[in-house]
């Protein structure tokens, strides 16, 4: 069996090592990193919409050990480049402390600021995008059609943005709520074919409401640059080990969906309205409240829904050699919590959001996961 390749893009927050406040230093960090094309054999760094963040992309790999090494390496490099500019990096999906983001230079970013107003100006969020190889656009769209109900569970697992402008947002993933202010973001209908997918994208661009195909911010989409599907619902994860578990589940979800397509099984006809509610519930709860079970579209305990995801993709996990790692990773996440729970625990322990950010900068470049408990 050929194992699908996977690649990860992570957005990291640039912060002051002393105060924890977000710092508009991406130009200095990228100058130190000597950014190149992100599809190079060594991965690469690039700027994002806001000057307070930097993005890296791993090279495509097939082994989870290789992926972990890539993420740890690139996080370490990002931290070193940031330190050279007088800052640190934090793998947290929103800034806990108040910030007035600064949009990067460039015609495309200026266009976004002019057209989207506060939506663009306030859009300082850090996500994790996972790419999984597909054989064709037709297979890719078949996968997109079949993974729709399960994407909200990935948001819950990765939730790592409980704080916003000095306040507890009440959400595990407040990033997901901010991100969905974009007019093209969120869940989509079943397309049925690659032709219909591309027609929909072309019609969206033709409206003039978005500038180009890159601004089609579906929860999951065909990559415009690579032969992959790109799953975009996750917060950047606090620990590299969590990102690896997430990638294992996503690869297995893609493989499971492709097998269903080849077997002639139709996608579940879940209305977009229900998917939006499931996404909201996942963002609100993270792993600390009920989720909407993709099998029934009814609320169920988070542990039940996470186990349902594992069962859905277990055969593919076994075939990829990832089952034990995914099982142990999910058990650890349910026991100790995702990034949102850890951040809130750090606030209880230290009493300061600045201290939370400081601890998160250390966890970002930690090679080994926290112990459960």
Q: Which CATH number characterizes residue 213's domain?
A: 3.30.590.20
Does the model's pTM come out above 0.85? yes
- pLDDT of 47 higher than 90: no
Domain count, the chain: 1
Q: Angle at the Cα of 171 (from 100 to 252), degrees rounded to 5? A: 105
Write out the H or E segment, with its range, that includes residue 235: strand 228-235
- Specify whether the CB–CB gap between 16 and 354 falls below 8 A: no
Query: What backbone torsions phi and psi does residue 50 show, to the nearest 5 degrees?
Result: -100, 150
> Is 1 within the bounds of a domain?
no
Gap between the Cα atoms of 14 and 88, Å rounded: 6
Cβ neighbors of 264 (< 8 A, separation 6 or more) are: none
Q: What is the mean pLDDT of residues 104-124?
A: 92
> Is 106 within the bounds of a domain?
yes
> Is 373 within the bounds of a domain?
no
Dump the DSSP string for 71-121.
Answer: HHHHHHHHHHHHHHTT-EEE--SS-SS-----BPSSHHHHHHHHHHTHHHH
Alpha-carbon distances of 319 from 171, 244, 251, rounded to whole Å = 35, 17, 11
Least confident span in 36-40, 130-134, 210-214: 36-40
> Is 357 within the bounds of a domain?
yes
- 338-372 tens-digit pLDDT: 999 999 999 999 999 999 999 999 999 987 765 44
> Is 210 within the bounds of a domain?
yes
Gap between the Cα atoms of 118 and 114, Å rounded: 9
In this structure, what is the dihedral angle of CA atoms 62, 2, 154, 102, given to the nearest 10 degrees? 50
Collapse the DSSP code of 266 into the 3-class scheme (helix H, G, I; strand E, B; otherwise coil) and give the result: coil
In this structure, what is the dihedral angle of CA atoms 51, 227, 321, 263, given to the nearest 10 degrees? 130
Structure confidence at residue 245 as a pLDDT band (50, 70, 90): very high
Mean pLDDT of the chain: 94
- Structural domain containing residue 131: 6-364
Q: How many CB atoms lie within 10 A of CB 354?
A: 17
Pick 47 or 321 by higher pLDDT: 321
């Amino acid at each position: 069996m050929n194992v699908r390749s996977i690649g990860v893009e992570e957005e990291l927050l640039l912060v002051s090592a002393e105060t924890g406040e977000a710092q508009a230093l991406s130009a200095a960090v990228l100058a130190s990193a000597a950014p190149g094309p992100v599809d190079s054999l060594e991965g690469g760094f690039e700027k994002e919409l806001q000057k307070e963040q930097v993005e890296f992309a791993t090279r495509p790999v097939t082994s989870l050990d290789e992926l972990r090494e890539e993420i740890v390496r690139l996080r370490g490099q990002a931290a070193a480049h940031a330190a050279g500019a007088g800052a640190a990096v934090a793998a947290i999906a929103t800034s806990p402390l108040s910030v007035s983001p600064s949009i990067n230079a460039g015609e495309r970013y200026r266009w976004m600021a002019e057209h989207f107003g506060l939506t663009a100006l306030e859009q300082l969020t850090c996500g994790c995008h996972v790419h999984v190889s597909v054989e064709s656009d037709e297979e890719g769209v078949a996968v997109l059609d079949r993974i729709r109900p399960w994407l909200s569970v990935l948001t819950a697992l990765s939730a790592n943005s409980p704080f916003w402008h000095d306040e507890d947002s009440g959400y595990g993933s407040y990033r997901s709520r901010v991100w969905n202010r974009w007019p093209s973001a969120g869940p989509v209908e079943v397309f049925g074919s690659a032709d219909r997918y591309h027609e929909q994208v072309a019609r969206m661009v033709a409206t003039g409401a978005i500038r180009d195909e890159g601004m089609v911010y579906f929860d999951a989409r065909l990559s415009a640059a690579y032969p992959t599907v790109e799953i975009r619902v996750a917060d950047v994860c606090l620990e590299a080990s969590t990102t690896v578990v997430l990638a294992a589940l996503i690869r297995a979800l893609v493989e499971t969906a492709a097998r269903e397509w080849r077997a002639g099984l139709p996608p579940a006809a879940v209305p977009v309205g229900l998917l939006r509610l499931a996404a909201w519930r996942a963002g609100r709860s993270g792993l600390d409240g009920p989720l909407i079970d993709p099998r029934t579209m009814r609320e169920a305990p988070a542990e039940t829904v996470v186990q349902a995801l594992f069962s859905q993709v277990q055969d593919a996990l076994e075939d990829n050699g990832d089952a034990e790692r995914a099982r142990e990773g999910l058990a650890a996440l349910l026991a100790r919590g995702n990034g949102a729970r850890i951040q809130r625990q750090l606030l209880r322990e230290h009493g300061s959001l600045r201290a939370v950010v400081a601890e998160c900068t250390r966890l970002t470049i930690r090679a080994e996961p926290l112990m459960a408990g």
